[in-house]
């Protein structure tokens, strides 16, 4: 039964950032055009889903949930030659993992084959469709061009009876593939070439994974998709921009037939990531060509690959929320995705020590057989979690081979002959002797002395070594395999057409480095598959859920601690080894392939703009890609500089100018906006001082982009201040928990993914104004 849904207020929308589709839905409900929102996610089961699909999944399911509606899961399975049950199962698994819940609304286009056939017959009877016997090449040749009209098929004026007869015989299997197609009769001179009598049914002699050999003709996408939406009562058919030209055909099909409902199509910008390909055809080519180890290879942009790499659904949701929903396509820097992954894992991955390329160290003055159990925290001071483990210290250790140089350069603060460094959580070692393999000359062992720290934590004699190394006890360490995953492609746009180069030529040869013989601390002896950890000074890692075995873990690197691809130009010496908080500030040297690509991007700028980009990188700390965008656009750069003059947060200002303002400009220029960078700086100050949340800030920005005004005044007039009073938020949290006993029971039974549901409900109840960190902390404590 359909119930009346009120027009969503800010509270109803769960505090979600406003976007044009959300506004359309709100207006439709307010005007009474719909009483309930029904969306759908309609994948074709011809491959695994990738991160681009994640944006669509979260948008469709999210809008339905926010407006009290429902989202259908429907497989558009009309091409049996490419479809498989494996893909159906993987898609359902991925959508559930991302939080999509379709309940009993699981559908297949193949469920409607009989009804779709009847709709096609109806078109023929109305004189709006005909059986065409041209070959594919002839059809293409007669279609015309964007400047010239097409020519009518000689079969266009077949009688209704002849068309009905031929179409029935097509279904009966009398003709081979390619002999005939059913075409819509529209307009061969239409400016939109999609409307030049498009095919809507073709003969396809392939066994369907669900219907078997029952059919040998199948509807084409535009016909099946629009009518499936109508059959299911979809209110808002949301798709990506490449289907914008299809909308006219979508509407024509709906309006030409007696359908049970009248859905409307809306398009949004698809997710495009640099250093990535998202064509299913190319992803399939990577799998079948053996360039990756399956659809779930952690280098793949598939949901399955990201999951196996250790990316969480929460990180993907945060990323999709950050990039937002726009009307124009743009390229998103993959570094932003990696940043969201780091932010997420920072709060869930306990810190441990692992040595990936071991170098043996003997502490000559440390008693043989003696073992100290050192208490080491799992979490740094800036993560509000507690817990520690015992790390054994003994006479023989392993350190990273890269942390020692026999003949070091100046300002080398790691280990070298005669040089002292600190051991993480322990004392200090000084290298006294280097032992080499007599045959190869390779360093195989270091002989060192050990000094316990003084009561103040310093080295004896008041020395203050600048280097801090991670390590493991050789006698207690666990052997492990570590897989260092990196970007699959070395080129920023690997599938760009460039002098006939194949996208496979842009594969990154260093995208996977497998290290065996690694050593991890004994606290990981019973680590479970699917666990997240941070190897200090190394990165975030995930225990492989497939290849790990008890006592023999395999760790997949999810993401490094910092973006080693970020800076566009300039190399600096390797930074001194330091505790994690300091080490995270300086990126290691970048791969040569990436440096070359970065230099090429700068080279495309004129000298003055290139200098401007370098200055933004070096003095303002702006990521390379963002620096180039600002250097190329005087208007955006002026906005940035004006914002920073008011509120000194260059990284945040660049991010908002490029990724929130620029993409909404469309045909306007920055100088046409009804506000200046000073007002943007005012908005950023409100975020940084905790007055408003980022979600509310996006709503305020949308308002000043239309009408101008002071962000601070808008916040005060509309009562948008963030609620950070613990007592006030706690009362809302208690109400939500009390009102959802079933969800509470399921959460405590192990369905911890429901935390997102509870956060959403609290944010709805607070009008999107509750401090999200406080909400998370209270829910975590009260639901535990």
Supply 628's token pair. 């180039």
First-last CA distance in the chain: 37
Active site residue 44: yes
| Matching residue, tokens 């499936």 | 228
Q: Classify each residue of 262-298 as buried b or exposed e, where b means 16 or more C-beta atoms within 10 Å of its C-beta.
A: ebbbbbbbbbebbbbbbebeebeebbeeeebeebbbb
Is 466 designated active site?
A: no
**Sequence-distant contacts of 715-723: CB under 8 A, at least 24 apart:** 715/686, 715/691, 720/692, 720/696, 720/769, 721/691, 721/692, 721/769, 722/690, 722/691, 722/692, 722/693, 722/696, 722/769, 722/770, 722/771, 723/766, 723/769, 723/770, 723/771
* Beta pairing class for 351-352 and 532-535: parallel
Query: SS3 of 648, please?
Result: coil
In three-state secondary structure terms, 332 is strand
Across 13-133, the runs of DSSP E, i.e. the strands, are 38-41, 70-75, 106-108, 129-132
Q: Which residues lie below 8 Å from residue 699, measured CB to CB, with a gap of 6+?
A: 10, 17, 18, 720
Given 96, 151, 262, 270, the catalytic residue: 270
Tell me the Ramachandran region of residue 4: left when phi exceeds 0, alpha when psi lies from -120 to 50, beta otherwise. Answer: beta
Q: How far is it, in rounded angstroms, from Cα 90 to Cα 46?
A: 11
Contact 712, 697 (CB under 8 A): no
- Residue 153 to residue 157: CA distance in whole angstroms: 8
In 437-531 the beta strands, taken as DSSP E runs, fall at 443-451, 468-469, 471-473, 478-485, 512-520
Please state whether beta strands 428-436 and 420-423 pair in parallel, antiparallel, or not at all (unpaired). Answer: antiparallel
CA 588 to chain centre: 24
Strands (E), 492-580: 512-520, 532-535, 539-543, 554-560
What CA–CA distance (Å, rounded) separates 5 from 382?
43
Rounded distance between C-alpha atoms, residue 658 and residue 680, angstroms = 12
Q: Which helix (H) or strand (E) holds 96?
A: helix 85-97
Angstrom distance (rounded) from CA 127 to CA 108? 29
- Residue 698 a catalytic site member: no
Residue 770 gets which letter from DSSP? Answer: B
Q: Which of these is catalytic: 280, 483, 487, 698?
A: 280
Tokens of 425: 């959580």
Strand spans (E) along 316-437: 331-332, 351-352, 354-355, 358-363, 372-377, 388-393, 396-400, 420-423, 428-436
Within 198-298, residue ranges assigned H as helices are 221-232, 247-256, 280-288
Rounded to an integer, what distance in angstroms lies between the CA atom of residue 483 and that of residue 356? 10
Beta strands, E only, 264-413: 264-268, 272-273, 331-332, 351-352, 354-355, 358-363, 372-377, 388-393, 396-400
Longest Cα separation, the chain: 103
Catalytic residue among 22, 40, 44, 321: 44
Q: Which residue has the tokens 């495009």?
A: 272
Which two tokens mark 416?
């070298």
Cα(119)–Cα(128) distance, integer angstroms: 11
| 87: CB partners within 8 A, 6+ apart | 45, 46, 47, 48
- Contact between residue 366 and residue 450 where contact means Cβ atoms under 8 Å apart: yes
Residues carrying an active site annotation: 44, 270, 280
């Amino acid at each position: 039964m359909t119930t009346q849904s009120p027009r969503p207020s800010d509270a109803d929308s769960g505090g979600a950032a406003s976007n044009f589709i959300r506004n359309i839905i709100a207006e439709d409900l307010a005007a009474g055009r719909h009483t309930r929102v029904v969306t759908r996610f309609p994948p074709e089961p011809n491959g695994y889903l990738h991160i681009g699909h994640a944006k669509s999944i979260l948008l469709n399911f999210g809008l339905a949930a926010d407006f009290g509606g429902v989202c259908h899961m429907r497989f558009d399975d009309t091409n049996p030659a490419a479809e498989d049950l494996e893909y159906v199962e993987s898609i359902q698994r991925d959508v559930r993992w991302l939080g999509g819940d379709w309940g009993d609304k699981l559908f297949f286009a193949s469920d409607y084959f009989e009804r779709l056939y009847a709709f096609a017959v109806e078109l023929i009877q109305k004189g709006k469709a005909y059986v065409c016997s041209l070959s594919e090449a002839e059809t293409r040749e007669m279609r015309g061009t964007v400047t010239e009209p097409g020519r009518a098929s000689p079969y266009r004026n077949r009688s209704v009876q002849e068309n009905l007869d031929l179409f029935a015989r097509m279904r009966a299997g009398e003709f081979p593939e390619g002999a005939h197609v059913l075409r819509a009769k529209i307009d061969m001179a239409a400016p939109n070439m999609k409307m030049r009598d498009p095919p809507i049914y073709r003969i396809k002699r392939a066994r369907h994974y669900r219907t078997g050999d029952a059919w040998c003709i199948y509807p084409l996408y535009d016909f099946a998709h629009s009518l499936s939406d109508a059959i299911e009562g979809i209110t808002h058919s949301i798709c990506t921009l490449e289907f914008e030209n299809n909308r006219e055909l979508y509407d024509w099909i709906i309006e030409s037939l007696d359908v049970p409902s009248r859905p409307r199509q809306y398009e949004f910008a698809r997710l495009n990531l640099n250093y990535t390909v998202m064509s299913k055809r190319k992803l399939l080519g990577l799998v079948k060509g053996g360039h990756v180890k399956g659809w779930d290879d952690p280098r793949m942009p598939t949901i399955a690959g990201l999951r196996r790499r250790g990316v969480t659904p929460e990180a993907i949701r945060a990323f999709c929320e950050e990039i937002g929903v726009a009307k124009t396509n743009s390229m998103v820097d993959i570094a932003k995705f990696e940043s969201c992954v780091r932010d997420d894992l920072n709060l869930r991955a306990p810190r441990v020590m692992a040595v990936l390329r071991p170098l043996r160290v003997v502490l000559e003055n440390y008693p043989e057989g003696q073992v100290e159990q050192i208490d080491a925290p799992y979490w740094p001071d800036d993560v509000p979690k507690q817990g520690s483990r015992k790390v054994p210290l003994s006479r023989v250790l392993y350190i990273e081979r890269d942390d020692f140089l026999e003949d070091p350069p100046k300002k080398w603060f790691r280990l070298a002959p005669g040089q002292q460094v600190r051991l993480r959580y322990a004392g200090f070692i000084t290298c006294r002797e280097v032992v080499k393999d007599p045959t190869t000359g390779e360093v195989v062992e270091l002989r060192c002395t050990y000094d316990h720290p003084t009561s103040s934590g310093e080295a004896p004699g008041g020395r203050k070594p600048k280097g801090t190394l991670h390590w493991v006890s050789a006698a207690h360490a666990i052997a492990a395999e570590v897989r260092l995953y990196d970007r699959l492609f070395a080129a920023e746009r690997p599938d760009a057409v460039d002098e006939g180069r194949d996208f496979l030529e842009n594969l990154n040869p260093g995208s996977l480095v497998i290290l065996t013989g690694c050593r991890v601390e004994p606290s990981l002896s019973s680590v479970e598959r699917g666990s997240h950890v941070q190897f200090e000074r190394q990165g975030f890692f995930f225990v492989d859920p497939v290849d790990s075995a008890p006592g023999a873990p395999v760790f997949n690197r999810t993401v490094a601690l910092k973006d080693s691809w970020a800076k566009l130009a300039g190399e600096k010496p390797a930074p001194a080894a330091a505790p994690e908080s300091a080490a995270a500030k300086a990126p290691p040297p970048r791969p040569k392939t990436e440096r070359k690509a970065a230099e090429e991007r700068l080279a495309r700028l004129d000298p003055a703009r290139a200098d401007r980009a370098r200055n933004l990188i070096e003095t303002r700390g702006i990521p390379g890609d963002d620096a180039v965008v600002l250097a190329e656009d005087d208007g955006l750069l002026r906005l940035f500089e004006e914002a920073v003059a008011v509120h000194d947060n260059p990284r945040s200002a660049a991010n908002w100018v490029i990724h929130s303002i620029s993409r909404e400009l469309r045909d306007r220029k920055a100088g046409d906006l009804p506000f200046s960078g000073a007002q943007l700086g005012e908005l950023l100050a409100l975020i940084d001082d905790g007055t408003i949340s980022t979600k509310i800030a996006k709503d305020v920005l949308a308002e000043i982009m239309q009408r101008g005004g002071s962000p601070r005044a808008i916040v005060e007039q509309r009562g948008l201040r963030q609620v950070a009073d613990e007592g006030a938020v706690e009362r809302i949290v208690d109400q939500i928990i009390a009102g959802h006993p079933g969800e509470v029971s399921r959460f405590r039974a192990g369905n911890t993914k429901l935390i997102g549901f509870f956060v959403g409900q609290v944010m709805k109840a607070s009008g999107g104004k509750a401090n999200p960190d406080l909400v998370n902390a209270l829910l975590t404590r009260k639901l535990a």
